[in-house]
Structure 1
Amino acid sequence: MAKVGYMEIAAELRKQMQNGELNPGDKIPSLNEIQKRYGVTVTTANRAFKQLKAEGLTYAKPGVGTVVAARPHTAVTGAARLDRLNSTGSPFVAEETATDHISMIRGTTDNDIIEQLLIEPYEEIVIRRRTFRRNDVPYALGLSFIHKRALRDVPEIAQTGPLEPFWQKTYTERTGKEITRSPERRTARLAADYELEALEVPTPANAAVPVLVLHTTFYDEDGPIELWEDVYTPGFWQESAE
């Protein structure tokens, strides 16, 4: 069995915080539990604890132990949300919801969408949009750009409203084709007016507002099938699932 280092232990606990298995205020496993779980020394376990504390992810609560710290300006990424859906059956962390589900079929001239989905300019795609909120405050606009070929097997993607189960699961069940994803790509750009409106960001007309944007591309055996774009409210930083 390969030796486990303190950074690997910290990464596993960090991932549990990111996907909602451990929420703010939850007690994390004790040093003794970490030693037994990973077969490490108390020194290694303690270094993992110190790493998480240094990152501001945990703190010592008298009479309780080490607990997860509150992070009010932290947003969960689409990949972390998908991992949580697969592991727990729910895509949301504590106090998180999704509203304003919209679906449409449109031609696109967006170069990034065209390149990622390997389509032609003006080719039609399915666009699904929703606003992610925490404590009813919007923090991210989620956009899904789906290759039109997916409509053959999952016509439901063109319907407005949340899809249950997740459409990729339905697609795999109906076609037998597994879907994989690329690493997340992070960038920044100026927000469009409709994005600021959806995120309820009050700004003067034509104001230049920079936002963090995250992209994830999904593939089946026939090529790219979906591009995710998460646009974050200014002031939020994001967490990856990886």
Structure 2
Amino acid sequence: MDARLLHVNPALPEPIYRQIAEQLRRLVSAGQLRPGDALPSVREVAAAHAINPMTVSRAYSQLEAEGVLERLRGKGMAVAARRQRSDSVAARMQQLEPALREAARHGRELELPVDRVLARLRQLLEEDDA
């Protein structure tokens, strides 16, 4: 996995370590990261995004404590061997729920037409590099 595949946005109210952890959880849950797949080092992620290495370390440590990642001696962090893709669409939708609620709240606050918001979401979902 390339460290640049993670998206970090310092302008968001969500702490950066949580942004990283949530993205990795989703990638594992969707099967895009498989058991045994190596993660970039803390230094690589920190350098790629110009963030403090302790921020990345915190995200990795949290995921290790949850059993999503495991530390491989001499090799760094990898997706835990016992983790498997969550085949349940409902389980994966549950992970998306907070972001959907937040987007819906923002749309209401901005008084945007529902059909325009949904059309834009569809565009974003269908983009290759989204």
The alpha-carbon deviation at position 8 of structure 1 amounts to 1.0
Q: 1:46 to 1:13 in 2, by over 3 A?
A: same
Q: What secondary structure, in the 3-state scheme, does the structure 2 residue paired with 1:75 have?
A: coil
Q: 1:72 to 1:51 in 2, by over 3 A?
A: closer
| One of 2, 21, 24 as aligned partner of 2:11 | 2
Distance in 2, Cα, partners of 1:24 & 1:73: 7
- Percent of paired sites with the same residue: 36
The alpha-carbon deviation at position 2 of structure 1 amounts to 1.5
| One of 48, 65, 82 as aligned partner of 1:54 | 65
The residue that corresponds to 1:77 in the other structure is 88
State the TM-score, normalizing by the size of structure 2: 0.54
State which structure, 1 or 2, has the greater radius of gyration over its C-alpha atoms: 1
The alpha-carbon deviation at position 36 of structure 1 amounts to 2.5
The residue that corresponds to 1:11 in the other structure is 22
Is residue 31–residue 86 contact of structure 2 (8 Å, CA) maintained in 1? no
| One of 60, 65, 70 as aligned partner of 2:76 | 65
Q: 1:12 to 1:71 in 2, by over 3 A?
A: same
Distance in 2, Cα, partners of 1:19 & 1:74: 6
**Higher relative contact order at CA 8 Å, sep ≥6: structure 1 or structure 2?**
2
Judging by fraction of residues, say which structure has more helix.
Answer: 2
Ranges in structure 1 where 5+ consecutive residues have no aligned partner: 83-181, 184-220, 222-242
Judging by fraction of residues, say which structure has more strand.
Answer: 1
The alpha-carbon deviation at position 70 of structure 1 amounts to 2.4
Ranges in structure 2 where 5+ consecutive residues have no aligned partner: 1-9, 98-114, 116-130
State the TM-score, normalizing by the size of structure 1: 0.31
Q: Which amino acid aligns with 1:35?
A: A
The alpha-carbon deviation at position 76 of structure 1 amounts to 2.7
The alpha-carbon deviation at position 24 of structure 1 amounts to 0.2
The residue that corresponds to 1:35 in the other structure is 46
